[in-house]
Copies of this chain bind each other. A is one copy, B any other.
Amino acid sequence: MSELLPQPSADDIQLLEILKAIGDPVRLQIVGILSDGNFHPCGSDDIMLGLHKSTMSHHYKVLREAGVTSTRTHGRNRDVVLRRADLDERFPGLLDSLVAGIPAGASV
């Protein structure tokens, strides 16, 4: 069984909140990693990059509440994924141009 953590509906996603969310080096990099469209475990090492788990939890919450990501719980694990369809509907082309502009090995 899997449950979705609370998140804004597509209609309630605000551009300003998206920009505030991804205008941070850690969170922009998370978006870059999630841009493959797959679910990623919250605690995977390729995302954590040396930060504390409580710090990551905070960043996931910011992204989720801005409508950028969805988080589904699976047992005691959580997986994050980009809300690509919702974002494309609300802001056509935005995600594609953003992802294309994120530096590859953005190590900060």
Contact with B along A11-47 (1 / 0, CB 8 A): 0000110011111110010000000000000000000
Contact of A98 with B15 in the complex, beta carbons under 8 Å: yes
Instruction: Select one of B24, B94, B96, B102 contacting A98, CB under 8 A.
Output: B94
Stretch at the interface among A2-10, A50-58, A73-81, A85-93: A85-93
Instruction: Select one of B28, B93, B96 contacting A16, CB under 8 A.
Output: B28
Considering the complex, give the chain B residue whose CB is closest to the CB of A14: B103
Considering the complex, give the chain B residue whose CB is closest to the CB of A96: B93
Tell me how many chains of this kind the complex includes.
2
- Closest Cβ of chain B to A19, distance in Å, is 4
- Closest Cβ of chain B to A73, distance in Å, is 28
- Closest Cβ of chain B to A57, distance in Å, is 21
- Closest Cβ of chain B to A35, distance in Å, is 13
Given pairs A19-B22, A19-B23, A97-B97, 8 additional interface contacts (CB within 8 A): A15-B28, A15-B102, A16-B25, A16-B28, A19-B28, A91-B100, A93-B93, A94-B94
